[in-house]
């Protein structure tokens, strides 16, 4: 049986796993079609597979499949109320799609945060979230409004902790100061394919340095010093290294896909596990958000936690993915 824990509104719930199941692929299509029994069964299978390998954190957002991803979990909780106590929920808000009267925008106003959380709780059929993430930075965000929203949510016991996604250290400092407490997490795109967070340090003071090197370095340092969870979305690099790389993929991607296949066979693990193990090897304690809803792939990903890459293998993968030598 997987390790379980009861949800708490006072802190982010701990998990024995460094993997988080991303739920963006649940709920059917990004359309107005109603949730179907097949969609609910798909969510059930994904949850069962995740819990069977110790994954207890589930990552949602109010926009995922236009709310149906959350709704699919709500249906599971209605049918099996005891399930809620076995897992931790985090969801996100701020992204608003274009509609008949307004453009696409990010909205961290007090009114939208409160309305978004209420809608998520209703769809999820629960009374609280362990963690709420602010999905994207809103340039019109006012600190006082954010603080008011957070105070009201916390006082009502509707959210345990607040975190962010896709934000840099300066934004995190401002938000943390506004709410008067440390942030729980920052969810950023990080993978063997998306390496600017890593190259910003290894290539500093060299012509290979990425343009946003200082922002990345400060953000990683801030998270490590302040105990903010680093959650990597896109951790599986869209499957480019764990399956057959497309014929038109860059040479470095194709070479790395072959290397991953060879090393996974040598280590006796899945290719997904090897790709994730590379990310988990970093001393920042990165948590990987896996977006698959395929039970077999979820179980394959879990093998990453039993795999400790040597420095040599880690650098071999890094150099292959870069496609060029380090400075």
CA distances from 68 to 90, 179, 221 (A): 15, 30, 36
64 counts as catalytic: yes
CA distances from 216 to 24, 102, 197, 206, 211 (A): 26, 32, 6, 16, 10
Segments in the chain forming alpha helices (H): 37-52, 68-79, 110-124, 143-155, 169-179, 196-202, 213-226, 251-267, 271-280, 295-302, 311-322
Q: What are phi and psi of 231, to 5 degrees?
A: -105, 125
Read off the tokens for 50: 């995740």
**Cα–Cα nearest to 192, from 274, 261, 251, 267:** 274
Percent helix / strand / coil, the chain, rounded to 5: 45, 15, 40
Q: Choosing from 64, 106, 241, 318, which is the catalytic residue?
A: 64
**Cα–Cα nearest to 67, from 84, 100, 92:** 92
Read off the tokens for 248: 């038109």
CA pair distance 281, 279, nearest whole angstrom: 5
Read off the tokens for 253: 């991607």
> Over the range 119-129, which residues count as b (16 or more CB within 10 Å of their CB) and which as e?
ebbebbbbebb
19-22 vs 287-290, strand pairing mode = parallel
**Cα–Cα nearest to 272, from 242, 232, 233:** 242
105-106 vs 95-96, strand pairing mode = antiparallel
Centroid of chain to Cα 250: 26
Known catalytic residues are 64
């Amino acid at each position: 049986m997987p390790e379980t824990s009861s949800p708490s509104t006072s802190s982010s719930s701990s998990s024995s796993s460094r993997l988080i199941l991303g739920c963006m692929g649940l709920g059917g299509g990004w359309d107005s079609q109603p949730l179907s029994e097949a969609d609910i069964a798909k969510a059930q299978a994904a949850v069962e597979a995740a819990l069977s390998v110790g994954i207890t954190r589930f990552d949602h957002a109010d926009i995922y499949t236009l709310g149906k991803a959350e709704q699919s979990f709500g249906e599971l909780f209605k049918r099996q109320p005891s399930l809620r106590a076995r897992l931790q929920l985090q969801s996100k808000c701020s992204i608003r799609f274009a509609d008949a009267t307004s453009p696409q925008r990010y909205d961290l106003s007090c009114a939208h945060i409160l309305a978004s959380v209420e809608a998520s709780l209703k769809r999820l059929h629960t009374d609280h979230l362990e963690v709420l993430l602010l999905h994207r930075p809103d340039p019109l965000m006012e600190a006082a409004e954010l603080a008011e929203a957070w105070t009201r949510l916390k006082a009502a016991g509707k959210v345990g902790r607040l975190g962010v996604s896709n934000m840099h250290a300066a934004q995190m400092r401002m938000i943390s100061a506004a709410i008067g407490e440390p942030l729980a997490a920052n969810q950023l795109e990080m993978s063997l394919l998306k390496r600017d967070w890593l190259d910003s340090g290894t290539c500093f003071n060299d012509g290979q340095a990425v343009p946003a090197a200082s922002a990345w370095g400060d953000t990683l340092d801030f998270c490590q010093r302040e105990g903010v969870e680093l959650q990597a979305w896109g951790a599986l690099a869209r499957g480019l290294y764990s399956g057959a790389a497309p014929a038109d993929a860059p040479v470095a991607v194709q070479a790395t896909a072959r290397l991953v296949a060879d090393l996974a066979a040598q280590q006796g693990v899945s290719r997904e596990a090897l790709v994730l193990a590379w990310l988990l090897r970093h001393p920042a304690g990165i948590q990987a958000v896996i977006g698959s809803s395929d039970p077999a792939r979820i179980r394959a990903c879990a093998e990453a936690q039993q795999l400790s890459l040597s420095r040599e293998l880690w650098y071999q993968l890094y150099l292959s993915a870069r496609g060029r030598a380090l400075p």
